[in-house]
Chains A and B, each alone.
Chain A
């Protein structure tokens, strides 16, 4: 079956620190992979996505590379800001399927 596993939070960092949030997946076919972000009191917003192996998604200084050999899609940012404090969700969607599979979310707290 399909599933997504992400590191448990919360993750607490100081401003300008390097961020990694780990995400691994299990899929029966050829999934697309996504990172969504949820700011306090809001719904989820798409942060970035990758549709095939070795693709790199990037947005707002965040990056993630689709690694088929390790079934991973880790989220990274070189220098986090207080405004990055949010919950981050890794997700997959299989080709020609409408369903998404979400990880449990990782809360990031960035302190000034």
Chain B
């Protein structure tokens, strides 16, 4: 079974802090994704990566950056956390075989910025 793990289930940070969210997958997947999930808005794509050191902006990249130094690990960085970044963050990975690709999700990190 594919396993996607996220470093924390719950995180509380203060405004202005630099925040790192880590995601690791164990199935040698090419693609990795970061979403945020908010009530009534569903999932919105922040960034995705289709290869090591490659990244592309999603629909809401402002205020975020990412890093993918190794194939299995994809980090989401909030350079200076703000209260409007309080949300559930979901990481996903997929094999990378095109349109029939299934995304596999981690359990999520619920981030609260005070």
A43 in contact with B108 given A98-B31, A98-B48 (CB within 8 Å): yes
Q: Which of A41, A45, A49, A98 contacts B94 (CB 8 A)?
A: A98
Would you call B108 and A95 a contact (CB within 8 A)? Answer: no
A44 in contact with B99 given A89-B42, A98-B48 (CB within 8 Å): no
Q: How far is the CA of A95 from the CA of B42 in the complex (A)?
A: 22
By a CB distance below 8 angstroms, the chain B residues around A18 are: none
By a CB distance below 8 angstroms, the chain A residues around B84 are: none
A99 in contact with B45 given A42-B108, A45-B105 (CB within 8 Å): yes
Q: How far is the CA of A89 from the CA of B43 in the complex (A)?
A: 9
A5-33 contacts to B, CB under 8 A, are 30-32
Interface string of B78-104 (1 = CB under 8 A from A): 000000000000101010101111111
Would you call B100 and A51 a contact (CB within 8 A)? Answer: yes
Would you call B31 and A46 a contact (CB within 8 A)? Answer: no
Q: How far is the CB of A10 from chain B (nearest CB, A)?
A: 12
Would you call A102 and B104 a contact (CB within 8 A)? Answer: no
Q: How far is the CA of A44 from the CA of B50 in the complex (A)?
A: 20
Q: How far is the CB of B39 from chain A (nearest CB, A)?
A: 9
Nearest chain A residue, comparing its CB with the CB of B103: A100
A44 in contact with B90 given A98-B31, A98-B48, A105-B42 (CB within 8 Å): yes
Which B residues contact A (CB, under 8 angstroms)? 4, 31, 33, 35, 40-43, 45, 48, 50, 58, 90, 92, 94, 96, 98-108
Return the 10 tightest CB-CB contacts between A and B, nearest first: A95-B99, A43-B105, A104-B42, A102-B43, A44-B105, A43-B107, A96-B98, A102-B42, A51-B100, A32-B99
